[in-house]
Amino acid sequence: MNKKKFYITTAIAYASGKPHIGNTYEIILADSIARFMRMQGYDVFFMTGTDEHGQKIEDKAKENNLTPKQFVDAAAKEIKRIWDLMNTSYDKFIRTTDEDHQLQIQKIFKRLYDKGDIYKSEYEGWYCTPCESFWTESQLEEGKCPDCKREVKRAKEEAYFFKLSKYQDRLMEYIEKNPDFIQPESRKNEMINNFLKPGLQDLCVSRTSFAWGVKVPFDPKHIVYVWIDALSNYITGIGYDADGNSSELYKKYWPCDVHVIGKDIVRFHTIYWPIMLMALDIPLPKKVLGHPWLLFGDGSKMSKSKGNILYADDLSRLFGVDEVRYYVLSEMNYANDGIISHRQIIEKINSDLANILGNLVNRTITMQHKYFDGIVRKPASLLPQNDADKELIELIEITPKKVADLMMQYKVSDAIYEVMSLAKRCNKYIDETLPWTLFKNPEDHERLKKVMYNLLEGIRVISILLYPFIPSTSEKITAQLNTKKNSYSSTGVFGKLEDEIELGKPEILFSRIDTEKKLEEIEKEIREKQEADNIVYIGIEDFAKIELKTAKIIAAEPVKGAKKLLKLQVDIENKTRQIISGIAEYYTCEELIGKTVIVVTNLKPAVLRGETSEGMLLAASDKKTLSLLTLDKNMPTGSKVS
Ligand SMILES: [Zn+2]
């Protein structure tokens, strides 16, 4: 029998640096879907990779004294390392510097040119000479270059254009006839109203301002626009050939079932990409899933300048791979942004993984060892004996179907919620049936056998359902149960757990974490790393880099869970900024308010206990006491200190 095929991709990661946890979320999300579809019996092809061309990479390579190729080789290796660390089961990792990919980009460009869909013209716009960049009217800020704030001038440059406008109506029709093509719904409406309805402009698809990219084959001073290069990976990666000699792999898997991408690049995937495919006479992908963003714990975007970037490898080392997978998959809703911080991860590990799941598995297996020497005793009748049995058995039977329905819609966090609800119901069942009481009376041992079997069967189903999300944990539970019945098709009908099998030893899956202690350790580690990176001797030119200003403390309050920290709001020339300061043992909030102090104002922002700190107060201290630096004359806030 031919298995149904399923082709899933992530966006290819831009090889300009290390991806943060928000970028890594996407591959974990796609992985959970790919694993689920394999369990459903689909023949899955799962592709990811790196986008390695463009000006930014050319610039970064230069900064690092590397050739662009050396730079992207290292970046791609690092990205792949993180994808592998997160236990993602992709089938192919494509790089846009792969020879066969680059050759196809040239062929695709030529074919679109021969067809008349790409034409040569002049690009006219506002040009910033130092930045070598063109800007549109709307991109300018107060009439100036948005990057360097310098004057711009009107300029023209020879360039190739792609006739998006020619395909506008066909695309609109496709989107209307395929209401699920763009998901979630809100993103579809955004595309229609903001881009399609106002009318598409032809797209400039070549550049001459840098060299690191695929050259236009018949006009090599032009580089193919990075989005044509990048988007095409979805077909070149499975062996598309623009001359008609596409591979068997391509014929089998295209059209793609779902492109999993971030919400910020929905436009490229639902307008440019389908139009490219239409122009090439290729069927369109079935679905584009624009997932929301993972933001830092206080709701801000992760960025280097804010100092609030979290990386998947650091988090996995601190908490474990499955713990991080579980956090991001359960936290990220289908349509709304999620948030992440060390504290939030710990809280979720404690509440869901340790208290609900780990506790259920551990105490059930421990009890089975105590009551039945670890041997599964299947009761003569599987029929429920009371309401608690009935409720539990029904939930064990129905949950796999619920989870499957949600997963087929890619509603991953909702699916996880259903699995955890089953685990919670099992815990409640233990409280209702009190196995330890049943054990005391030999006449209750038949009943005990049944209660324990119901629980073990529940755990078996839970372990199967968890596999797409936390595969290693799922395998550990299966190993503790020692069951061979671990396929999705062994769920749905109650009672497949084998009779007489001997359970493995109970092992703790997740330990509870002491939140404050762990957070202190993490902060200490970050501090030590910063100290190790610090330069000890500075010259006067280094000191000149430190910006010191007077500031007035206008509000102060304790930081939750941190005995030493205070959260201060200070005024500097009528602008308020927040500073987290370790002075709680030396000053009360009341005595601080109104004080004029000295602040390092250009200190890189840091995050302490989930709170952003933008600056540092100067203070003198020894082991016993601490005294803030204040002024001996009245001065306005924002006065320079040097
Ligand atoms: Zn500029």
What pLDDT digit, counting tens, does each position of 590-617 carry?
Answer: 899 999 999 999 988 888 888 889 999 9
Percentage of the chain beyond pLDDT 70 is 99
pLDDT per position as a tens digit, 562-593: 888 999 999 998 899 999 998 998 999 989 99
Provide the CATH number for the domain formed by 535-641 in this structure: 2.40.50.140
Residue range 379-387: mean pLDDT, rounded: 95
What was the pLDDT predicted at 389? 98
Separation between Cα atoms, residue 549 and residue 189, nearest integer Å: 48
What was the pLDDT predicted at 1? 52
Tell which wins on pLDDT, 626 or 542. 626
Q: Which of 444-448, 455-459, 559-563 has the lowest mean pLDDT?
A: 559-563
Separation between Cα atoms, residue 640 and residue 622, nearest integer Å: 26
What was the pLDDT predicted at 127? 86
What was the pLDDT predicted at 136? 83
What was the pLDDT predicted at 536? 57
| Under 8 Å between Cβ of 312 and 327 | no
Query: Which residues have a beta carbon within 5 Å of ligand 1, which is an ion?
Result: 128, 131, 145, 147-148, 150
| Under 8 Å between Cβ of 240 and 94 | no
Provide the CATH number for the domain formed by 341-490 in this structure: 1.10.730.10
pLDDT per position as a tens digit, 168-227: 999 999 999 999 999 998 889 989 998 898 889 899 899 888 899 999 999 999 999 989
* Fold: same for 341-490 and 535-641: no
Ligand 1 geometric centre to CA of 200 (Å): 27
Using pLDDT thresholds of 50, 70 and 90, give the confidence band for residue 538: low
Whole-number mean pLDDT of the chain?
Answer: 93
Q: SS3 for 307? A: coil
Ligand 1 geometric centre to CA of 436 (Å): 74
Separation between Cα atoms, residue 375 and residue 502, nearest integer Å: 5
Tell which wins on pLDDT, 546 or 394. 394
User: For the chain, how long is the longest CA-to-CA vector?
Assistant: 93
Using pLDDT thresholds of 50, 70 and 90, give the confidence band for residue 280: very high
On the question of pLDDT at 306 being above 80, the answer is no
pTM: 0.82
Residue range 321-348: mean pLDDT, rounded: 94
Ligand 1 geometric centre to CA of 20 (Å): 28
Ligand 1 geometric centre to CA of 150 (Å): 6
Q: Which of 7-16, 185-194, 467-476 has the lowest mean pLDDT?
A: 185-194
What was the pLDDT predicted at 545? 85
Using pLDDT thresholds of 50, 70 and 90, give the confidence band for residue 124: confident
Ligand 1 geometric centre to CA of 338 (Å): 34
Using pLDDT thresholds of 50, 70 and 90, give the confidence band for residue 52: very high
Ligand 1 geometric centre to CA of 489 (Å): 60
Separation between Cα atoms, residue 482 and residue 505, nearest integer Å: 10
Ligand 1 geometric centre to CA of 582 (Å): 41
Strand partners, 159: 121
| Under 8 Å between Cβ of 27 and 86 | yes
What is the DSSP annotation of 519-547? HHHHHHHHHHHHHHH--S---HHHHTT--
Using pLDDT thresholds of 50, 70 and 90, give the confidence band for residue 622: confident
Neighbours of 419 (CB within 10 A): 24
Ligand 1 geometric centre to CA of 84 (Å): 39
What was the pLDDT predicted at 128? 85
Q: Where are the domains of the chain?
A: 341-490, 535-641
User: End-to-end CA distance of the chain, in Å?
Assistant: 79
On the question of pLDDT at 401 being above 70, the answer is yes
Percentage of the chain beyond pLDDT 90 is 75
What was the pLDDT predicted at 33? 98
With a CB cutoff of 8 Å and minimum separation 6, the contacts of 418 are: 399, 402, 403, 406, 465
What was the pLDDT predicted at 296? 87
Separation between Cα atoms, residue 199 and residue 510, nearest integer Å: 54
Using pLDDT thresholds of 50, 70 and 90, give the confidence band for residue 146: confident
Ligand 1 geometric centre to CA of 126 (Å): 10
Q: SS3 for 334? A: coil
Ligand 1 geometric centre to CA of 152 (Å): 7
What was the pLDDT predicted at 276? 97
pLDDT per position as a tens digit, 525-536: 888 887 776 655
